[in-house]
Amino acid sequence: MTLDKLVENAPLNENQKPEELITYPGGAVRFPVPVRYDLIPLDMYWVLLNGPSPSYDVVRALFKLCEDESTNRDTTSMYDCSIGDKANSVLNLLDKLLLRTRAGLLEPYAQALYDGSLKYPPHGWKNGLPKHMLLNHALKHLVGYLVGDDTDQDGQGHESHMVWNIMAIIYFYGTLSRIDDEEYVRRMYDFGFQGPESEKLLKKGDIGEKTT
């Protein structure tokens, strides 16, 4: 099924129009949301969530996970200790917040993947989504969950879509060849990873010849 058909058949609300879809480098598409929770300073979360709390701990761990450190290594893997520790920290805190076991996160994760497949190409997200967007969406759903809402205005479950966005952040940290933006493509190219996006930049002359 084409993207046009997927969008045409998607359960859009009155605020979503197909022409507003954002296409990210690599081909992933998403509808925009009019909030930027990722821009709220971490100390303001501390104030608003009343200091140390399970919810604040998740926020802090998410910000730490999204620190742009992956491009400062020769290799990046979920088995890289520092990245693996950050991912485990987020998931362990999420388990406690949602009162679920680690395996119990699979159900909401799968539910969000199903919801997304109704609106977007099922594997399109793997082409690369900016970490700031994923962080923003994770925090948006966390806030919705904390105030006691089951779903947002689009009918997305807060619990399941919070889990999905967090898992997407972890996925991109564990997959060095995925891209966020042109700068990320340039850095990955310098590490020896090439793909359709780096080929485009090569043709434009925005990155130089690959060195070994």
Contact 52, 143 (CB under 8 A): no
| CA separation, residue 94 to residues 70, 105, 124, 159 (Å) | 22, 9, 26, 10
Q: Ranked by mean pLDDT, which of 1-10, 27-36, 79-88 comes out on top?
A: 27-36
What one-letter code names the amino acid at 149?
D
End-to-end CA distance of the chain: 41
Beta bridge partners of residue 30, listed in sequence order: 22
CA dihedral 152, 155, 156, 157 (to 10 degrees): 80
Please, what sign has the CA dihedral across residues 122, 9, 138, 95? Answer: negative
Residue 128 in this model has a pLDDT that exceeds 80: no
Does 12 or 162 have the greater pLDDT score?
162
How far is Cα 154 from Cα 172, in angstroms, rounded to an integer? 25
Report pLDDT for 160. 93
Report pLDDT for 189. 52
Token pair in block for residue 36: 């930027």
Say whether pTM exceeds 0.85: no
Residue 163 in this model has a pLDDT that exceeds 90: yes
- pLDDT tens digit sequence for 38-86: 889 888 999 988 888 889 999 999 998 887 554 444 444 444 556 677 8
Lowest-pLDDT choice from 7-16, 93-102, 149-158: 7-16
Report pLDDT for 130. 81
Lowest-pLDDT choice from 18-27, 64-73, 131-140, 163-172: 64-73
Report pLDDT for 28. 79
Report pLDDT for 182. 61
The residue length of the chain stands at 212
Report pLDDT for 2. 37
Residue 23 phi, psi dihedral angles, 5° rounding: -105, 120
**Could you state, in order of their start, the residue ranges of all structural domains in the chain?**
3-68+75-180
